[in-house]
Structure 1
């Protein structure tokens, strides 16, 4: 990295840098508005960038150019752009604030980040892999500028910039890419377009015009007047239009999210008025779908928030696997709103990393769903650009991904764990009996009433004590009775045991209302009471002390006996909290007793007094912890017992024996001390509660809504069965959808394989580990006389054809050693073949059999043998002749030449033997006359002598006498001719 103090940036002077700093300071002082455009370019990007800069007006914008540069190479981009730009072009220095009407160029050997409008140089990654400098800056730009961010991808190879554009679009910004037809290298633009996040695909000059047009729109300038009531109604019309086109209802999405995405679409189409946009959308359903897709965009990446996955592996996975080990059901995980699949794949990988060698001991079912069918299809494919190296470690890439061309594909082991399906959590029946639900960053887009509904659905789906994972800005809000907090920082919750919930109200089209304030469980079937039970109840009602049953939140669940003497409703909103209903003089004793009973988990009694009809009534307040048998939730019985009469008489007698004055003083003193003790304990409990409340308030600053209303949590058995049936049906539908998709893929693969095997002219046989035939080509079928019924037979069935070669033994050895087998074999048809046996490897690099191939080399083998025989014969009898001799076969291919042939015609052996006359340099054999004599000799078997042939030899014309005759047959070849070449007359 260049030291800013020792060297000025390329293409700029110290005066330039000071001018930029002054411009930035002026922009801050006068409050002028401008937006920042990030431009990513690589190979061929200089030409496109130069054309863009020439045709753009820099009013109210700044360009930050990120180009792939070698760390050790000096960059000349800044001076090159300065030739065509009318504004300052500077190389970025660390801590430089972005100013309007400037172009900033990244220096070599660094990554670039933006924080509050200030550029920071970050260390360049030295890890092997593709360059990702553009993605790095685009992500930073999206986080810093939000909806005002603009990203442009120009010419270049690879996929850098794709993930960055996605981050910009998720933040509400504008994304652009150069038209691949105008790009010198179209790799980066095509990758961006394939991701589906590009708003504009244009040439450099058109991109410049689009930037100038968008820069004046209120969406970018953020100069929007307050929205009138009529526009609020227009937004509702758009929501209805989306529902009619897509079938999904966005009524309970947060209005701010919908409004922001609508304003973005207005900016893209240069429409100022919302009413005009509604007219445009009504006549263009593609625009409605595009708006709907914009609203659904969610932030997603591999291993987002790494600390969350550390908590999963340290706290959540150990507990759910331990529970699974005892009961042996499948591990079931649900990821609603899975987007393009990064989240479910990340959880699956984290689970496999935790289980390690124990993974095969568990049955794992992961359901990943989303309302966007396009995103689900992308997730099913499991193919992601190479830019994921920003989020996935090299070790995980090696273990869980397969390199496929320029992309990475999830390995089959991880892919088979997950079932992807289109599913609307607010509309469709939920899954059930789940151990973990990861619902991150969905609730933040929903209104409070829909948040409550979704949380009820998720609680219904989870097993007791199973886990819910939410986003960092989410919480269970108004449903603390459904979930208990496990990890406050990473938002991990556990499902509580609560009574059966009422109907989940699955499906849209009905108005969601707040649940009524009712603490009485839904009446179910009336139990049949026998005589003993009636008697027990009567005795309890007659002699049992009055009291109440409360839950952990101090809400009264049940009244026992006549409690009117101890409770009186407090003014204000109706409440069943025992401390709000109790009479004021009883409240300190009740609070103290309950607090101590909860703390010690034991029965606690506290003396107390109330004034009734002008008389003091002595009581014992008792608190007894119990566990509700159905839900296993903790409750407390609070009862009020009168002090036994003889104890009262003893106290009165003792008091009568003492002097009246002393009795009154001591009684007063005891009352004061008791009240002081109670007050101190009460104040201490108040302090502790306040401290606890403060902790809760700190963690609730990000929560949008909070209340203490209780959800009605019981339901009849029939309703529960209905919901379970709906869940099971939805699960079966989801699995069926996934199976159908896989069957289609499998059918396509089988069709492709069938056509390949039928069209390939090679002899191929595929076997399994048991050396039984699985598949064979059409050529193998004809050669080995195989029938479809031979599938499943041992490969030893082919041994007789191959001269007794034991293919079963050879295949077993190849599987064991992984070393391919090659051998030349003369088959039973007297032809020669090369037999090759290689291991059959799957995409997961496992061996499941062998591939046996046969290559026919009979012609080559016989030609080689013939050449050897001819050479041996001729070398013995003809090599002593002094003039040039050649032996050719029936195709005029040279089989042998004597030693005198080569110097006479100035040729080398490797340019003669095995070559046909047509391949030899110009000589007497190239003449048409000699070729006619040869054809006659081959046909009639006759001979010719002293044929005079003239041919060009260098710069002169030479003449030779050629004689030829048929040779005796050798190895069955009757087409050999001996040629003699002598100097001409």
Structure 2
């Protein structure tokens, strides 16, 4: 019974996500369902709704609820130079190498993906200004900062921050790069112009290319594995060979060693390897007829200018070729109908705009067959709680030979004109009825006087109710303040706990490293989970070469098959055994007798601990 209810809940969540994508163009299907479920449930609890179906009904009737839901899902957590240790490593180790590999006259291109309210982008500007000098930074560095949250982008573009939000910044840097503006601080204007903010969905939109540095911190962790793979493919395409990728602490590229070299796993900094192996993302190439020299440049430039003019047109326009494939979607059409550049090349019939708000496919066939322009006036389209009206033009296009080559569909927004016409009609009808109503006004006035007296009494009652509501709101505000203080206390406790765990981990690693003998920890499946410095010195294998490998398949100076019976007995009996003397070869090829002790490991999921040291009788001297 409980499993069936969970399935129904999952299906209802998928239906809600599909509705959000169709109604507002926000595609959350690539996000982790556990995270989405928590964020949506939080918003549902805030409005007192228990089921996804009821919450979808609320979204259909309330445009404001969309904004509240998006702010809840798109968690904007950021600060200036967040995680200072990672930024210090980036500035001291990565940026100098980046600058060395970049010619002095070449532009340095940086992308902050998921920039939230802008602190990360401005941190990049400060870092490069300090590394290059302000004048050189203004001349060469261009920073692209993108996010899917328009509200966060508005805050980022203002460049205004409170003194508290700038506390991680050194006082001399704050004085150098921020100007006090009342109670807030604004980022210096000349450097601000080198930061370009824009809306961008990393799961759908084409990536920015030829990047020297790409920062996307604590964003991938909200997506499922499939979406993460697609995003990393885009990032790999976006980076030049040798370009750097900077991720958050919760993110790493464990399965991309062929494409990304680890610069610092601790700081989550990676470098794109040379070559194109494993790159599945290829942007559509610009097709230009064969030619050379100035002719080729002129054709490309003319076509580029023509495409820019069409894309900047004030009227939403879509072009379809003779095979029914979309070949042009201008900027206004992408904004108006939630389309992207990725829809170019798709069959027109697969797009929602082909059948909503009006069936266009049959009109295209008619226009093509009759070789004439068709117009459909005042087509109504519903967007949330609002209505739009369009005059749609379907125009067949012919090539120089007179043969049909494509169809251009243009949408002219006549919402205001339609509303004015409707309003004029309504006013005319109101005026016609007004004269009749005036005849009975005198009689109604007497009745109205009595009703006004009753209304005054009702208003007095309402005033008392409002007073009571105001008191309840004040109580709620105090409760929220108390809850906030509790959350701050919990956050501080978690920070202290994290520091204690880090200290304990460092202590244990130090103890293990300090043991002169070779210490190897195997899990219950006999895979290597720890390989200390003594084991490295004894056998010559580094820890990164053996971790998570089957111990008894490793090829080194110790014949491990001799130890299998002892290890198996230890796993079954959970008792220590040894030492067992094994004839082996040290890392330098010298014959030795190695004493091996085996003890049960009481850690996570069990296992054994092997301690190996050279027999004293074999030791020189």
Larger RCO, structures 1/2 (Cα 8 Å, 6+ apart): 2
Calculate the TM-score normalised by the size of structure 2.
0.45
More helix by share: 2
Structure with max Cα Rg: 1
Q: What's the TM-score, normalizing by structure 1? A: 0.29
